[in-house]
Amino acid sequence: MKGMHLVTREGLDVAYKTEMISNAEVWKPGSVGMIAWYLQRITGVALVGYLLLHIFLIGSSLLRGRAAFDSMLSLLMGSKLFLILDLALLAAVLIHGLNGIRLILFDVGVGILNQKKIFWTAMAIALGLFAWAVVRMGPELLK
Amino acid sequence: MGSFLNVTLFRYLPGTDHSPRYETFEVPESKQMAILDVLTYIQKHLDRSLTFRYSCRIGMCGSCALFINGRSRLACRTLVDGLGTKDIHIRPLPNLPVIKDLTVDLTPFFDKYEKIKPYFIAKEDREDFYRVPEGAKERILVDKMLECITCGACFSSCTMVTTNPFYLGPAALNRAFCLIADKRDGAGAKRLRLVNGPEGVWRCHGQFNCMEVCPKKIIPTWSIQQLKKRCVFKKWMGIG
Amino acid sequence: MKQTMENKIGNWNAIAWLLQRLTAVGLLLFLGIHFWLLHYRHPGEVITYDSVLMRLRFQPLLLADLGLLIFGLFHALNGLQAIIQDYGFGAGGKRGLGWILLLLGLVMGLLGGFALWQTF
C-alpha cells in the first residue's frame, strides 16, 4: 500500500525516537491550494536558477566588451532552442507572478473564501498572456 | 442494506510488530452508517484488538480524527454514503507518532498549542467589564474561528508541519489569533512575540489544507494572515 | 525546546515578508518593461551592445534595469531563505544559510550593477 512506510524522528523534547507513518498522501496535490503551492515553489526555484545564470552571463559579457557581448547574444538569440526555452521562462514568470498576485490578495485579506476561483482566474490570465506571446513570437519560431 | 464495505485498516503495535500492516475487513453496511460505526462493528465482531479513540460520537470532542480515504476527517461525522465508494482506507493521523493501530500521540500537537498560552489572561488594570456589543465588527472574524475542538485534522494535513518539526501549526496559531484579537485579553503583545518567528506564522504559505479538513469550518489560513498583518504593523497597531 | 522568539535582528521575519511582497509588485513592473523592450516589442531582433548603450543612456530605463537587478535578487534569495526555513533550519532565530544567501546576493548584485554602470 503506497505511503505506508515508517519514518522516524528524534523526539523534540524527549530522548526516545517516535515513529510516524509517512504522510505521502498529505502531499498529494488533491486540492487547488496544494497545486498552487507546488507551482509557486517549483517555478520560484527554477526562476532563481535562471536569474543567477542570466546575471552572470549578461553581466560578464557586458564587462568583456562589445565584441564578446555581440557574439554571445547573437549565439543565444539565434537558436530555436533559445526561443523555446524563452517561452518556458515566460510561462514560469506568468504562473509565478499571477499566483503571486493571488497570494498578495490573501495577504491583504481579500478573497480567501474564493481562493480556488481566484487561482483558476489567475491561471486563465496567465494562459491568455502566454498565448499572446506565442502568437507574437510565432513567425520567429516557424522561420 | 445487503451490501458490504471493504474496509482496510492500518495495524501496528510499535515494539511488538516488526512493521505496520494493512488488514481488510468486510463490514455489512447499515443505514446512515458513519465511519465510527464501521470501526465499532469491526472491534465488536471481527477483531477485539483494534485500537482507536472516540468519545462523544457527535463531532464535539475531537477524539476520533482519522485519515480516511485520502484526508483527515472525524470518524463520527463521516458518513459512508458521503465517501461515494465501498472501499474504505483508514490510517492514523499523519504528522503524529503512532501509539497503536489508529491511535496517535497528540503530545506534540498539544505542546505547541500550550506554547501560545491558549487561555484568557485578564488585563491587570481594569476594574469594570468590557462591553462588546453583539455583531461587533471586531468579533466577526474571531467568532468564526472559536469553535476549535483540537481534533488535530488541520495539524495533520499541513505539509509545513511535516517539514519543520518546530512549526506551531494551524490550530495553535488560530487559537493565538482568537486571543490576540480579543480586546479583553491582556497578553496580546506577549503572544504576538511567540508567533512572530520562523516557527510561527511565517511558515504558512497558504496551502489551505487546514481549511479543507476542519470539521468546524475554521480557516486557520485566514487567522494566520491576520496575525501576519499584526506582526508587521504591530508598532502602528499599538500591540508591539 | 527553546521558546520561539522574535529574531534578534528586530522584526526581521516580518520585514522580510513585507519586502518580498513589495519587491514582487516592483518586479511585475520592471519585468514587464524588460520583457517588452528586449523581446516582444521587436520579436526576433538580436540585442547588440550598441542597443544596450542606447537603452541605458535613457535614465528611467537604467533605473528600471537596476531596479530589476536589486528587486530580483532580493526576492529570489529571500525566497530561497524561506524555503530553507521551511525545512527547520533557522529555528530559534538562527540565521543559518541566510548569510551565504546574502553574500551570494551581494556578489551577483555587484557583478550586475558594475556591468550596467560600466556600460552606461
pLDDT in tens, A4-57: 456 655 544 444 455 666 677 788 878 999 999 999 999 999 999 999 999 999
Q: What is the pLDDT of residue B2?
A: 78
Contact B165 C87 (CB under 8 A): no
Please tell me the pTM assigned to this model.
Answer: 0.89
Q: What is the pLDDT of residue C101?
A: 79
Given a cut of 80, whether residue C61 has pLDDT beyond it is: yes
Contact B194 C90 (CB under 8 A): no
Those chains having 3 or more beta-carbon pairs within 8 angstroms of chain B are A, C
Q: How many residues does chain B have?
A: 240
Q: What is the pLDDT of residue C46?
A: 86
CATH code, residues B107-237: 1.10.1060.10
Spatial distance between the Cα atoms of B231 and B132, rounded to a whole number of angstroms: 24
Out of A12, A19, A31, closest to residue B208 by CB: A31
Which helix (H) or strand (E) segment is B109 a member of?
A: helix B107-115
Q: What is the pLDDT of residue A10?
A: 54
Cell, residue A129:
498572456
- Most confident stretch, A7-16, A64-73, B151-160, C91-100: B151-160
Q: Domain with C35 in it: what CATH number?
A: 1.20.1300
CB B38 within 8 A of CB B8: no
CA distance B73 to chain A (A): 13
Q: What is the pLDDT of residue B218?
A: 96
Identify the CATH assignment for B4-104 out of 3.30.930.10, 3.40.50.300, 3.10.20.30, 1.20.1260.10.
3.10.20.30
Given a cut of 60, whether residue B14 has pLDDT beyond it is: yes
Distance of CA B229 to the CA centre of its chain: 24
Report the phi/psi class of residue B2: left, alpha or beta, with left for phi > 0 and alpha for psi in -120 to 50: left
Chain B contact for A23, CB < 8 A?
A: yes
Q: Which of B82-86, B196-200, C81-85, C100-104 has the lowest mean pLDDT?
A: C100-104
Given a cut of 70, whether residue A2 has pLDDT beyond it is: no
More confident site: C111 or C80: C80
- Mean pLDDT (chain A) is 85
Chain C residues with beta carbon closer than 8 angstroms to that of A12 = 1
Out of A1, A34, A112, closest to residue B207 by CB: A34
Contact C13 B195 (CB under 8 A): no
Q: Domain with A37 in it: what CATH number?
A: 1.20.1300.10
Q: What is the pLDDT of residue A7?
A: 61
Q: Which of B232-236, C28-32, C75-79 has the lowest mean pLDDT?
A: B232-236
Contact C5 B197 (CB under 8 A): yes
CA distance C29 to chain B (A): 24
Q: What is the pLDDT of residue C7?
A: 45
Spatial distance between the Cα atoms of B205 and B227, rounded to a whole number of angstroms: 13
Other Cβ atoms within 10 Å of A119 Cβ, number: 20
Q: What is the pLDDT of residue A112?
A: 94
Work out the pLDDT band at B61, boundaries 50, 70, 90. Answer: very high
Sorted by where each begins, the domain ranges of chain B are 4-104, 107-237
Those chains having 3 or more beta-carbon pairs within 8 angstroms of chain A are B, C
Q: A2 lies in a domain?
A: no
The number of C-beta contacts closer than 8 angstroms across A and B is 94
Q: What is the pLDDT of residue A9?
A: 56
Looking at the structure of chain C, the number of domains it has is 1
Residues C12-27 pLDDT 10s: 889 999 999 999 999 9
Q: A4 lies in a domain?
A: no
Given a cut of 90, whether residue B18 has pLDDT beyond it is: no
Domain of C34, in residue numbers: 5-117
Chain C contact for B114, CB < 8 A?
A: no
Q: Which of B173-177, C71-75, C99-103 has the lowest mean pLDDT?
A: C99-103
Looking at the structure of chain A, the number of domains it has is 1
The dihedral of CA B51, B56, B58, B63: what is its sign? negative
Chain A residues 78-117 with CB within 8 Å of chain C? 78, 86, 90, 93, 97, 100-101, 104, 107
More confident site: C2 or C103: C103
Given a cut of 80, whether residue B52 has pLDDT beyond it is: yes
More confident site: B228 or C112: B228
Out of A4, A18, A30, closest to residue B97 by CB: A18
Q: What is the pLDDT of residue A29?
A: 79
Q: What is the pLDDT of residue C87?
A: 86
Contact C114 A47 (CB under 8 A): no
Out of C21, C116, C118, closest to residue A104 by CB: C21
Read out DSSP for chain A?
A: -TT--EEEEE-SSSSSEEEEE--GGGGS--SHHHHHHHHHHHHHHHHHHHHHHHHHHHHHHHHH-HHHHHHHHHHHHH-HHHHHHHHHHHHHHHHHHHHHHHHHHHHTT-SGGGHHHHHHHHHHHHHHHHHHHHHHHHHHHH-
Given a cut of 80, whether residue C9 has pLDDT beyond it is: no
Residues of C88-109 as b/e, b for ≥16 C-beta within 10 angstroms? Answer: bbbbebebeebeebeebbeebb
Give the ipTM of the model, two decimals please.
0.89
CA distance A47 to chain C (A): 8
Domain of A80, in residue numbers: 9-142
Which helix (H) or strand (E) segment is B157 a member of?
A: helix B153-157
Given a cut of 90, whether residue A131 has pLDDT beyond it is: yes
Out of B89, B162, B228, closest to residue A26 by CB: B162
CB B218 within 8 A of CB B148: yes
